[in-house]
Amino acid sequence: MIAPSPVRRTDQSPSPFGGGQGGGIAILALRVGSRAWRELRKMRTAIILLAILALLATVGTLLPQLPQNPRGVMGYVLRHPVTAPWFARLGLFDIFSSWPFIVVAVLMYTSIGASMFIRVPAAWRRAMEPAQRNRGLWAEVASIIFHASFFILLVGVVFGKAAGFLGNVAVVEGDSFTEARANYDNLSEGRLATQHANFQVKVDSFSASYWPSGAPRDFTSQVRIYDGGRLVETKSIQVNHYVDYRGVKIYQAGFGWAPTLKIETPDGRVVEDTPTIFVGDPQFANGVIKAPSAGPGDQQLGATAIFMPDPQIADQSIAPGTPQLRNPILLVRLYRGDLHLNRPQNVFALDTSNMDLRWRGALRVGESVVTPDGYRLSFTGLKRYTDLTINKDPGIPIVLAAFIIGLSALLISLYLPLLGPEQRLSPSRELTG
């Protein structure tokens, strides 16, 4: 007789995620998340993320940034109409507030924090064992301090942003700027920012030199600083050479041209006669002049202009040349109509939808022209302007302390084991998984 085969149980314990396709997806998601967490807490991952942050910061040095140089961003947009919109979508014109930078920074700090969550208890337990107290242990402690310095750095950056400010202002040669909230062209303040210093910066002159290719080699603003009506400093502001007064740093961010187009109405009224800031490359700058006082409604005046310091003229065509001031010319289009000043608008743009073109042509410095309508246009003067970035960051001492602590700990962790006989730590169960 053949004995019956034993019956095998085919039922299994129910999955905590439920059965079917939904449970399988949940299990797969759990496995992927667990694997991602294990990778994220590795120091190798933190180093890769740190390298990506450094790369993004490099992009911030190559492209003009909105907080420091909004006119430079406007000029870049005018010169690169294809790539500029994509860069703007990615936030590359304000790289340190962009979503790629924030995401990578959050992942990096999560990686460092997760690694320290394991390494600190492991190091503590090793320190409690006399056999483990060797040079390798102290090198491990120094390595932990090095990674902790990143969090000190984060505290300094956050505090500096919360208690400081960053502003931008364009000052024409011979004009002054008072360091007060209302006088900035662009200002970003932290929630804990205190009162402004209210000192005055007078720009006496500006000079620029160029490489043979036409690229700027150096540019310098000669300034005087007054505090309470008293002259306290006379300084030169250059690229990478800022002026620091009362904890406020003044940087040279850019420069440009400020032509003066004088506009007179047929009845002799002067409705515009001040330097206008133009944006763009030094050899090809764009500007907009608006004269709402010329008349009511459809009698207002507006002009778009292109300034070239060294135009290349051949037959009937004009092309930009070098940024050297050799034969300056101003190409003007004069419009009359409604400027739409009752609604927000870009000061560097002119809405000509309800305006008529009344005259267009070229003017050199000192020349005038009378339009068929009786308006007189005169190119009366030309100045430069300097674009200054003004920054107060009280978190810098904390950032400097983080750098010193981190660098010192890194050197100790690298070289301490080399100062004596080779001493290794036994592998920790937490670190080996």
Residue 177: its pLDDT value, please?
A: 93
What average pLDDT does range 274-281 have in this prediction?
90
pLDDT above 80 (res 301): yes
Q: At 231, give phi and psi (nearest 5°).
A: -70, 125
Q: Using one digit for the tens of pLDDT, what is the confidence trace for 323-365? A: 888 889 999 999 999 888 877 778 888 988 889 999 999 999 9
Contact criterion met (CB below 8 Å) for 43 and 31: no
Site of tokens 């390298």: 51
Split at pLDDT 50, 70, 90, the class of 401 is very high
User: 79 or 224: whose pLDDT is higher?
Assistant: 224
Q: At 197, give phi and psi (nearest 5°).
A: -80, -25
Q: Using one digit for the tens of pLDDT, what is the confidence trace for 359-389? A: 999 999 999 999 998 999 999 999 999 999 9
Q: Using one digit for the tens of pLDDT, what is the confidence trace for 84-137? A: 888 888 888 888 888 888 888 998 898 888 888 888 888 888 888 887 777 778
pLDDT above 80 (res 47): yes
Contact criterion met (CB below 8 Å) for 153 and 407: no
Contact criterion met (CB below 8 Å) for 94 and 72: no
| Mean pLDDT comparison of 9-18, 168-177, 216-225, highest-scoring range | 168-177
Bin 268: left if φ > 0, else alpha if -120 < ψ < 50, else beta: left
Split at pLDDT 50, 70, 90, the class of 425 is low
Split at pLDDT 50, 70, 90, the class of 50 is confident
Q: How far apart are CA 23 and CA 27, in angstroms?
A: 6
Q: At 347, give phi and psi (nearest 5°).
A: -70, -15
Residue 299: its pLDDT value, please?
A: 85
Give me the count of residues in the chain.
Answer: 433
Q: How far apart are CA 294 and CA 300, in angstroms?
A: 5
User: 56 or 33: whose pLDDT is higher?
Assistant: 56
Residue 398: its pLDDT value, please?
A: 95
Residues 6+ apart with CB under 8 A from 123: 137, 140, 141, 144
pTM (predicted TM-score): 0.73
Contact criterion met (CB below 8 Å) for 179 and 201: yes
Split at pLDDT 50, 70, 90, the class of 421 is low
Split at pLDDT 50, 70, 90, the class of 1 is very low
Answer positive or negative: Cα dihedral of 58, 59, 63, 66.
negative
Contact criterion met (CB below 8 Å) for 190 and 163: yes
pLDDT above 80 (res 54): yes
Q: Using one digit for the tens of pLDDT, what is the confidence trace for 200-223? A: 999 999 988 887 776 777 889 999
pLDDT above 50 (res 145): yes
- Of 388, 382, 380, nearest to 171 (Cα)? 388
pLDDT above 90 (res 416): no
Residue 291: its pLDDT value, please?
A: 92
Q: How far apart are CA 105 and CA 99, in angstroms?
A: 10
In the chain, pLDDT over 90 holds for what percent of residues? 37
Q: Which amino acid is at 34?
A: S
For 290, half-sphere exposure in the C-beta direction (CA atoms, 13 angstrom radius) is: 15
Residue 45: its pLDDT value, please?
A: 84
Residue 427: its pLDDT value, please?
A: 57
Q: How far apart are CA 394 and CA 247, in angstroms?
A: 8
pLDDT above 70 (res 426): no
DSSP collapsed to 3 states, the chain: CCCCCCCCCCCCCCCCCCCHHHHHHHHHHHHHHHHHHHHHCCHHHHHHHHHHHHHHHHHHHHCCCCCCCHHHHHHHHHHCCCHHHHHHHHCHHHHHHCHHHHHHHHHHHHHHHHHHHHHHHHHHHHHCCHHHCCHHHHHHHHHHHHHHHHHHHHHHHHHHHHHCEEEEEEEECCCEEECCHHHCCEEEECCCCCCCCCCEEEEEEEEEEECCCCCEEEEEEEEEEEECCEEEEEEEEECCECEEECCEEEEEEEEEEEEEEEEECCCCCEEECCECCCEEECCEEEEEEEEHHHCCHHHEEEEEEEEECCCEEECCEEECCCCCCCCCEEEEEEEEECCCCCCCCCCCCCCCCCEEEEEEEEECCCCEEECCCCCEEEEEEEEEEEEEEEEECCCHHHHHHHHHHHHHHHHHHHHHHHHCCCCCCCCCHHHHC
User: 69 or 242: whose pLDDT is higher?
Assistant: 242
pLDDT above 60 (res 422): no
Answer positive or negative: Cα dihedral of 291, 292, 296, 299.
positive
